[in-house]
Amino acid sequence: MEGNLPQQQCHPVTTAIEKDDLVIPIIDFGPFLHGTPADKHEVAMSVVHAFKTSGFLYLSNHGVPPSVVSHVFGTSARFFARPQDQKDSLCWTTPQANRGYVKTGQEKLSTVEDVDDDVAAAAAESRSIPDLKETMEIGREGVEGLPNRWPEHLDAAGKEFKAVMLSFFEMCKALHTEVMRAIALGMHLPEHYFDPYVDAGDNNLRLLHYPAVDKRVFRHNPLQVRAGEHSDYGSITLLFQDGRGGLQVRSPRGTFVDATPIADTVVVNAGDLLARWSNDTIKSTRHRVVEPPKVVDEDEKDADEDGSGVYPDRYSIAYFCNPNNDQMIEAIPGTYGEDIRPLKYPGITAGDYLVQRLTATY
Ligand SMILES: O=C(O)CCC(=O)C(=O)O
Ligand SMILES: [Fe+2]
């Protein structure tokens, strides 16, 4: 009897989100990091399946300890609590550097590329409304001429900030490498195929703070969001969210579906450069951050009904991973060919691609 069942192809995964044809799994990454070759293979197949279908997944047992993540969140919150003039003194300057503090309204996330007319129209309209967020961008340390904008000269907490973020940057870099190994195996390539493409760590750690906001702001302006609809640019993004909620992912039906926070997981999504690299076999899915979903909590309900109340601050941490700046990105072997699909894009260096995209955004 059992012998007639199709063989299990994928590592057993739990479905975290399933709505409007959008399915986002939770994948236990432990067996990839510590398991047998067969375990690794199963996880790798699940990872690639998720990237090819929704473009999003949650990873559990990803190797970044929860205590570290919570310390980074605390350090981030203390940074954003600094006086505005201190933060302004560390401001972001150019797309080439992409380092420093970005105050509310500076980044225009909603872009109008590659989407149908309705989406483009909505994006264009919402472009005039600034995102309700501030960010701190941290790039690879030690790149000549592109210093990070550390607050280390300000005080002891500024020095601590630098140490905490540098160490977290390296942990996330290691996780990026492992996820790329899973992608390699899942695409029938040697496990270390992407290592030379990502070993420089030309990544970007973005701390995000969405300030507390009066609920009426959203009620009075239906187009107001915390972060406008967009896709990410690079290979993959590792997204750590607090428990507030508000992240939404665009479904194949065009609706936005809540990507509910799940404790101790990291949300991983594919970016535009990985989609291009995979000859569009992997999806870079659009997403946004809106007001937190309605809670059924009685106190909240009362506050809602008389029109008062605020949504509390939300913090998140996005680690945008990229191939090495100088790497030529050409379609991954096995993603094109006469009998499969035509090659869609010419080669481009990762650095040129990202600067082009960032230039259009700021
Ligand atoms: O804050 C979040 O949850 C998402 C942020 C995001 O998508 C981005 O900064 O690209
Ligand atoms: Fe994003």
Tokens found for residue 238:
């590792």
275 lines ligand 1 (CB under 6 A): no
Give the contacts of 116 (CB within 8 A, at least 6 positions apart): none
8 band by pLDDT with thresholds 50, 70 and 90: very low
Q: What local confidence, expressed as pLDDT, does residue 306 receive?
A: 46
* Residue 213 in this model has a pLDDT that exceeds 60: yes
The pLDDT tens digits for 62-88 are 999 999 999 999 999 999 999 999 999
| Ligand 1, atom 3, residue with closest C-alpha | 247
SS3 65: coil
Task: Report, as an integer, the average pLDDT of 294-314.
Answer: 65
Q: Are 230 and 318 in contact (CB under 8 A)?
A: no
Q: How far is the CA of 237 from the centre of ligand 1 (A)?
A: 9
Amino acid code (one letter) for 305: E
Closest by alpha carbon to 108, among 90, 135, 126?
A: 126
**Best substitution site from 289, 315, 321 to test ligand 1's pocket, by max atoms within 8 Å of Cβ?**
289
Section 117-131 average pLDDT: 62
User: ipTM of the assembly?
Assistant: 0.99
265 lines ligand 1 (CB under 6 A): no
Helical (H) or strand (E) element with 34: helix 30-34
The pLDDT, as a whole number, for residue 115 is: 47
Beta-carbon neighbours within 5 Å of ion ligand 2:
232
Q: Does any ligand 1 atom lie closer than 6 A to the CB of residue 227? A: yes
CATH architecture assignment, domain 58-295+303-360:
Sandwich (2.60)
Measure 261 CA to ligand 1 centroid, in angstroms: 13
Which of the residue ranges 8-22, 42-56, 83-97, 204-218 would you say has the lowest mean pLDDT? Answer: 8-22
Q: For position 105, what pLDDT does the model report?
A: 75
3-state secondary structure the chain: CHHHCCCCCCCCCEEEEEECCEEEEEEECHHHHHCCHHHHHHHHHHHHHHHHHCCEEEEECCCCCHHHHHHHHHHHHHHHCCCHHHHHCCECCCCCCCCEEECCCCCCCCCCCCCCHHHHHHHHHHHCCCCCCEEEEECCCCCCCCCCCCCCCCCHHHHHHHHHHHHHHHHHHHHHHHHHHHHHHHCCCCCCCCHHHHCCCCCEEEEEEECCEEHHHHHHCCCCCCEEEECCCCCEEEEEECCCCCEEEECCCCCEEECCCCCCCEEEEECHHHHHHCCCCCCCCCEEECCCCCCCCHHHHHHHHCCCCEECCEEEEEEECCCCCCCEECCCCCCCCCCCCCCCCCCEEHHHHHHHHHHHHC
User: pTM of this prediction?
Assistant: 0.90
Q: What is the pLDDT of residue 125?
A: 56
90 and 101 Cβ atoms separated by less than 8 Å: yes
Residue from 106, 109, 208, 225 to probe ligand 1 pocket by mutation (most atoms less than 8 Å from CB)? 208
How far is C-alpha 345 from the geometric centre of its chain's CA atoms? 24
CA distance 103 to 300: 29
Cα–Cα separations (whole angstroms), residue 49 to 8, 10, 52, 190: 14, 9, 5, 17
Domain boundaries, the chain: 58-295+303-360
Which of 87, 88, 133, 76 minimizes the C-alpha distance to 109?
133
Do 331 and 221 meet the contact criterion of CB atoms below 8 Å apart? no
pLDDT at 13 > cutoff 90: no
Separation of CA 319 and ligand 2 centre (Å) = 10
Q: Is the pLDDT of residue 34 over 50?
A: yes
pLDDT score for 127: 56
135 touches ligand 1 (CB under 6 Å): no
Q: Is the pLDDT of residue 195 over 60?
A: yes
Q: Is any ligand 1 atom within 6 A of the Cβ of residue 206?
A: yes
Most informative mutation of 203, 239, 313 for ligand 1 (most atoms within 8 A of CB): 239
List phi, psi (to 5°) of 34.
-130, 0
Closest-CA residue, ligand 1 atom 8, reads 318
| pLDDT of 123 strictly over 50 | yes
Amino acid found at 13: V
Taking 50 as the threshold, does the pLDDT of residue 211 lie above it? yes
Of residues 226 and 120, more confidence is placed in 226
Please name which ligand lies nearest the alpha carbon of 259: 1
| 75 pocket-lining for ligand 1 (C-beta < 6 Å) | no
Spatial neighbors of 261 by CB under 8 A, at least 6 apart, are 241, 242, 243, 244, 245, 247
